Amino acid sequence: MKTLNKLLRIATVTGLICFTTISCENVLVNEDPNGTIIDDLSPEVVMPGAQTRPSQVFMTRMNQLGNTMIATWSGNAQQIQAPFFTEFSYQITPDFYDEIWDRMFVRASNLTNISNFSGAGNYDYFKAAAKILRAFYFQYLVDIYGDIPYTESHLRGDNLFPSYDDQEDIYRLLVDEVDEAIDLINNTDTATAIDMGGNDVMLNGDMTGWKKFGYTVKLRLLVRLMELAETDGATQTYIQEEFANLNGPDAIFLDLGEDVTINPGYSDESTRMNPFAETFGYDPGQFGNQASATVSNVTVGPTTFLVEFLDGTSNGVVDGRLSRLYTIRGGQTAIQGNTQGGPGQPSRLGLGLLSSPDQDGYIMTASESLFLQAEAVQRGYLTSGDAKTLFQDGIRASFDRLGASGVTTYLTNSDNVAGIGWDGSTDKIEAIITQKWIDLGGTNGLETWIEFNRTGYPSNMPLPELASEPTQPKRILYPTSEYSGNTANVSAFGQTTASAFNTSIFWDVN
C-alpha cells in the first residue's frame, strides 16, 4: 500500500494539482479497504483523482455498454472476428461488464472521503463538488443495477459487507445529497472557503458552474421518475414537491455552451490520453493514422438503423451530425452502417467524437440539460422556459459540440417530421428522447440505453441479429466480486441471466 510520505511527495511534485492521468492515479488510495491513510489527506490532494478515475470507466466501458445495448454501435465484421459477440448475443452473466461495478464503486469512495472530510479548513466547495459528482455516478449505478449498497457504502473496515438499499429510496437520498451540496455552496463562509481552483480538473473551481451541474443532476433524477409518476401518486407528489425548489429563483441549469467536461492534462502519450480517445482512437503519436488505430477503433462503427436515420433514408431529413459522428473507411464512398451481429463493415468514428488525444472528456453536456428541461416543461413540472425553444436549443448545442454545420437548415427541415421535429410530433417526448439518442450516441451511450428503457424511444429499435431474447435487456447483473465478497447480501436477490430481461429498474413502467 502506498505510504503517506509517498503520496505527499507526489502531491508536492504536482503542486496539489493533477496535470496528468498518471498523477491522478497516484493520488488515488483504495488498495486497502481497512486503511485510514485517506482520511488524513486533504481534499486538494484527493480531488483530482476522485474526479478523474470514475470518469475513465464512464467514458469507456459504460459508454460502450449503452451504445451496444441499443442500435447505436455495430461491429466491423470484415476485420474483427465476431465483433461484440457477447453484447449482441445477450450473454449477460455476472462477469458481463463487471468492471463497471468493481471500478466505479471503489473509485467513487474518494468522493465519499472528500464529502466526509473532518480536518481543519473550510472545504465546503470541495465537499459540495464531491457530493454532486457522487450523486451523478450513483444514479447510473442504480439505473443499471437497481438496489445497491448506498448508506453503508465506502465504510471500509467499519463494514466490509454493506447491505443493499432500496433503489427508489436511493434516488431520494441522491436528491437530498445534491440539495446538501447546493446549500454548502450558497451558505459557506466565503471569506474562509478554500478555492478549488486547479485542483478541480472539471470546472476549475467555478462554483456557479457546480451549482448548474448540481441542479441539472437533480433535474435528471426527477425526470427519470416522471413515467412512474403517471401511475404512482406518491411519486407524483414527491416530484411536485421537489420541483418547488427547481422552480425557485436560485435554480440554474446548464445552458448552451456549458458542457461539464474533464481534462486533468491529457497528452499524446500512452496511459495519458483522454480515455475515450485512447480506447477508441489511435496509438500515441499516431492520431488519425488508420494503420495505428486501436482494436476498438477498428471494431466500432454505426448501425444501419442509425445511418439511415441520419442520412435521410428513414425520414427524408439529412442530419449534418452524421458526418461528424462517423467518417468513411478506406474504399467507402459514403458513410455506411452494419446490423448488430451482421457481416458488414461499418464506417468508423468521426472527428466529432475523436478530435485529438488530449480532447476534453464529456461528463454532462449542455444538450442533455436542455433536453431534460424541455421534457420537464412539456410535462408541466418546470415552469420556466418554452419547451420547443429548449428542445431546439438542445439540437443547436448538439450540433455545436460535434462541430456539425447546417443546424438552421436541419431545424427547418425536421420541424414538421414526426419523431424528430417539434411541430410534426404528436408525442413531444418521442422527439426529445430520439434527439437525445442521436446527440449522445458515442458520448454517453449509457444514458441513451437507460432512456430507451424508460420511454421506449427511439421506436422500432431493431434487435441484434444474434439476440437470444425477444427484447433488449433492462439491466445488468451483480458481479462475481459481490458473490464472493458480499455473499449473504447479494444472494438474497436470486438473480439469473433472465433477471437482466425480466426485472426492471423501479422507474421502468413500460
Is 272 part of any domain?
no
- Contact between residue 475 and residue 500 where contact means Cβ atoms under 8 Å apart: yes
Give CA separation, 179 vs 182, 420, 440, in Å. 5, 34, 27
Is 40 part of any domain?
yes
Output the tens digit of pLDDT for each of the chain's 510 residues.
Answer: 333 333 332 333 233 334 333 334 433 333 344 444 666 789 999 999 999 999 999 999 999 999 999 999 999 999 999 999 999 999 999 999 999 999 998 899 999 999 999 999 999 999 999 999 999 999 999 999 999 999 988 877 677 899 999 999 999 999 999 999 999 999 999 999 999 999 999 999 999 999 999 999 999 999 999 999 999 999 999 999 999 999 999 999 999 999 999 999 999 999 999 999 999 999 999 999 999 999 999 999 999 999 999 999 999 999 999 999 999 998 899 999 999 999 999 999 999 999 999 999 999 999 999 999 999 999 999 999 999 999 999 999 999 999 999 999 999 999 999 999 999 999 999 999 999 999 999 999 999 999 999 999 999 999 999 999 999 999 999 999 999 999 999 999 999 999 999 999 999 998
Q: What pLDDT sits at residue 37? A: 61
Give the C-alpha separation, 344 to 335, whole Å. Answer: 13
Is 324 part of any domain?
no
Q: What pLDDT sits at residue 29? A: 37
The DSSP letter of residue 61 is I
Give CA separation, 196 vs 22, 37, 44, 205, 385, in Å. 20, 22, 7, 5, 32
The count of structural domains within the chain is 1
Q: What pLDDT sits at residue 40? A: 75
- Contact between residue 134 and residue 108 where contact means Cβ atoms under 8 Å apart: yes
Q: At what angle do helices 167-187 and 124-145 cross, to 10 degrees?
A: 160
Grid cell for residue 170: 436511493
Give the C-alpha separation, 353 to 356, whole Å. Answer: 9
Give the C-alpha separation, 45 to 8, whole Å. Answer: 8
**How many residues can be counted in the chain?**
510
- Contact between residue 189 and residue 122 where contact means Cβ atoms under 8 Å apart: yes
Is 408 part of any domain?
yes
- Rounded to 5°, the CA angle 407-411-413 comes to 115
Q: How many separate helices (H) and strands (E) can be counted in the chain?
A: 24, 6
Is 431 part of any domain?
yes
Give the C-alpha separation, 97 to 61, whole Å. Answer: 7
Grid cell for residue 355: 478530435
Give CA separation, 309 vs 72, 314, 316, 462, in Å. 11, 5, 9, 12
Grid cell for residue 500: 437482466
Residue 237's contacts (CB-CB under 8 Å, 6 or more residues apart) are none
Is 291 part of any domain?
no
CATH of the domain at 31: 1.25.40.390
Q: Which residue type, as a one-letter code, is found at position 504? A: S
Is 370 part of any domain?
yes
Predicted TM-score (pTM) of the model is 0.93
Q: What pLDDT sits at residue 510? A: 82
Give the C-alpha separation, 288 to 292, whole Å. Answer: 8
Residue position matching grid coordinates 467513487: 108
Q: What pLDDT sits at residue 38? A: 64
Beta strand ranges found along 387-435 (DSSP E): none
Rg (CA), the chain: 22
Is 385 part of any domain?
yes
Q: What's the domain range around 430?
A: 4-265+360-502
CB half-sphere exposure, 351, CA atoms < 13 A: 7
- Contact between residue 407 and residue 320 where contact means Cβ atoms under 8 Å apart: yes
Give CA separation, 57 vs 26, 51, 181, in Å. 17, 11, 24
Grid cell for residue 114: 472528500
Does the CA dihedral 124-254-350-344 come out positive or negative? positive
Provide the Cα torsion 368, 372, 373, 374; round to 10°. 100
Residue 338's φ and ψ, nearest 5 degrees, are: -140, 150
